Structure 1
Amino acid sequence: MLKTLTLAAATAVALAASNAEAAPRIERVTFASHGEQIVGELYLPEGLAAKPAPALVVTGAWMTVKEQMPARYAREMADRGFVALTFDFRGWGESGGARRQYEDPKAKIADIKAAVAYLAGRSEIDKDRIGGLGICASSGYMVSAAAAIKSVALVAPWLQDAEVVEQTYGGKDGIARLEALGDTAEAQYRSTGKQAFLPAASLSDERAIMFKVPYYSEPDRGMIPAWRNEADPAFWRGWLTFDAIQAAPRLRQPFLMVHSEAAAIPQGAHKFYARLTNSKQELWLENVTQFDFYDRAAPVKAASDAVAAHFRATLGSAGEAGQ
């Protein structure tokens, strides 16, 4: 089902639906993924029922840490009654891993599966009612890890295949330049053990992976002390060949996508959605940029309301028995 909301309407819907009275309790947690320690934060809603509750794994954009957009959405989900887990992937933030700031799709997919397994082992969580909420780049990781979860929601998803990559990164020549940059950094790492870091984001340094973009370059938004503004460019080949859209025909979980034509690569989202064969819904907001989805009040609340409604319908609420 396709829905489109203006931002004004989205604001009204969000304000009407948001009725949280108390902040969630946040518990620092650790678990293991492939021999490394993962550090996370578990958001526990006020008045959690005695019965095992549904829970969500919440993941964010590439090169980010749990305190950025994942924290915002985890709190929104907890405000709406869901236990929500955010965490730093291996090599990022507070989590372990010798190779730092390296965007590795395969490793991140494995870490999502480890996070689901951790939630399933907690007594207050119903292991049969665990869902996944992916934001931006981690949407591709979430759908690739979806066999471990019961329901999927994506916000501002970055969903790519070879065709979308070519459209996005300057055609075959642009891809070749990035792959060459990455291969040089990878060769240095293999020969010396040292990583060749570049700025992840910058308003002035053209070497930055994200040059002249908002959010990451704004101290009152994504440029927070917990985030290290560096990236290992050796990631490029693995990222550019990562195909998230191929997961669509295999997805059997109930699915919701919230996006905007004004946000990043909507063509990839449309392609992914068209290839889904199971229960699916989409909500398109008007004139919402990719970065607005990360922390701007109206789009975040509108997206969160839709996501919470999806998970209530597919996982049940905290006081209900398993579906």
Structure 2
Amino acid sequence: MKLSSRLLAMSLVMFGSTAAVTNVFAQTVSSPQQKIASNRQTFKPGINRVTFQSAGEKLVGNLYLPTNYKTGDKLPTVIVSGSWTTVKEQMAGKYAQKLAERGYAALAFDSRSFGESGGKLRSCESPTVKIQDIKNAISFLQTVDAVDKNRIAGLGICAGAGYMTTVAAEDDRLKSLITVALWLHNPAIVNQVYGGKAKVQQMIQTGRKAAASFAKTGKGDYLLATSKTDKTAVMFGDIDYYQNPQRGAIPQWNNRFAVATWAEWLTFNPMDKADRVKIPTLFIHSEKGAIPAGAKQFFATIPTTNKKIVWMNDYQQFDFYDRPDVMEKTLASIVDRLRSTL
């Protein structure tokens, strides 16, 4: 059930997102474009703590605004979705802050079951839930005076790419799509990454049993997300980003993985949505990153001609999360793209 450090070095774990079975989350499903009342909050330059609803649960986020923001400004805006198991203060917040420094409003938020947000089964990386939360974040942003509601882009990092590409395919309120260090898989890639079809089916069944147990008892089963010593951890080995307090191992992140995660994550197939992505698209990735073949396959299927893929092959997967020089190069491509598409 765990992913080896060798696979990690090949970037095959970074997106290890989740899974509870659909019936566990059925009561939390909301309409794709949840209506949210007009927002009367006063916003200021810098970080603004915000809250909004998604399927009856409170989500907590940080809305970053430029230092020269003044009341009445209507800004192009980016929603940032980070890697699996992560919270808003990790890579999503870093990119959001850097985008605000470049003149954009940018939102990083905790999806249900993570960080400060609500949700019953904690640390559960449900693609269905995360996709709905992004859609409801769009609804929220359309109520914010600082946001130009007709110029909202989505930036998905690592596992967040699968969620953001799905939103781009399903929600026409998103006007531009950007992914960085992306993980996009289909059943064949899942079998390759996770040890073969039989092993994958075993993991799916384990996830379903854990989800059923949670539905019955209200108690979740958990593994460590990462460890150098505990071989049951989902990411076992020396994985600096998630284990270094100066990087991703921050106090807000609990280093936990809901076992129920496996079933939905392993059956999630964002590739099926590629032919429905009609908006301007930018992919930024590396051949040394997570399953570059998945990125190439998805990119080739996107029907729009307004698409671009940038390869930064000097860098590993985790470099894109927080390494300053890599982020600067990545952001240069992102901003160039946003200026031409929003």
- Under a length normalisation based on structure 2, what TM-score does the superposition of the two structures give? 0.83
C-alpha separation between the residues in 2 aligned to 1:184 and 1:209? 18
How many angstroms does 1:235 deviate by? 1.2
2:60 aligned partner = 39
Between stretches 168-177 and 132-141, larger displacement belongs to: 168-177
Aligned residue in 2 for 1:133: 155
Aligned to 1:305: 332
Measured in 2, the distance between the counterparts of 1:47 and 1:28 equals: 18
- CA shift at 1:286, angstroms? 1.6
Q: Distance in 1 between matches of 2:49 and 2:212?
A: 37
Q: Conserved in 1, the CA contact under 8 Å of 2:85 and 2:123?
A: yes
Q: Letter of the aligned partner of 2:120 in structure 1?
A: A
Q: How far off is 1:188 after superposition?
A: 2.2
Using the TM superposition, give the Cα deviation of residue 190 of structure 1 relative to its aligned residue in structure 2, in angstroms: 2.6
Q: Which amino acid aligns with 1:118?
A: F
Tell me, in whole angstroms, the C-alpha distance in 2 between the residues paired with 1:254 and 1:226. 34
Aligned mates of 1:174, 1:228 — CA distance in 2: 27
**With structure 1 as the length reference, what TM-score do the two structures score?**
0.88
Q: 5+ unaligned residues in a row in structure 1: which ranges?
A: 1-23, 316-323
In the TM superposition, residue 150 of structure 1 has moved relative to its aligned partner by: 0.5
Q: Distance in 1 between matches of 2:228 and 2:198?
A: 25
Range moving further from structure 2, 50-59 or 265-274? 50-59
Distance 1:169 1:208 in 2: 14
Equivalent in the alignment of 1:254: 280
Q: 1:48: Cα distance to partner?
A: 2.6
Secondary structure of 2:67's aligned partner? coil
- Please tell me whether the aligned partners of residues 206 and 263 of structure 2 are also in contact (alpha carbons under 8 angstroms): no
Counterparts of 2:293 and 2:135, CA distance in 1? 27
Counterpart of 2:216? 191
Counterpart of 1:157?
182
Aligned residue number for residue 105 of structure 1: 127
Q: Which one-letter code corresponds to 1:101 in the other structure?
A: S
295-304 or 102-111, larger mean C-alpha shift: 295-304
Q: Which residue of 1 aligns with 2:313?
A: 286
Residue-by-residue CA offset, 1:145-200 (whole Å, 9 max, x unaligned): 11230101000011011111111111112212322331332232133221011101
Q: Output the CA distance in 2 between the equivalents of 1:165 and 1:214.
A: 24
Instruction: List per-residue Cα deviations over 1:80-130 (Å, max 9, x = no partner).
Output: 111000000001000011121111000100000011111111112111000
Within the alignment, does 1:266 sit opposite 2:292 as a pair?
A: yes
- Matched residue, 2:114: 92
Quick one: percent identity of the two aligned structures? 45
Moved more, 203-212 or 47-56: 47-56
Structure 2 counterpart of 1:219: 245
Alpha-carbon deviation of 1:312? 1.0
Asked whether the equivalents of residues 46 and 64 of structure 2 are also in contact (C-alpha less than 8 Å), the reply is yes
What does residue 76 of structure 1 align with? 98
Extract unaligned runs of 5+ from structure 2. 1-44
Q: In the TM superposition, what whole-angstrom CA distance separates every residue of 1:22-74 from its partner, at most 9, and x where no partner exists?
A: xx610000000011100000000121364411111011001000000001100
2:288/2:317 contact within 8 Å kept:
yes
RMSD: 1.4
Q: How many residues align?
A: 293
Partner residue, 2:25: none
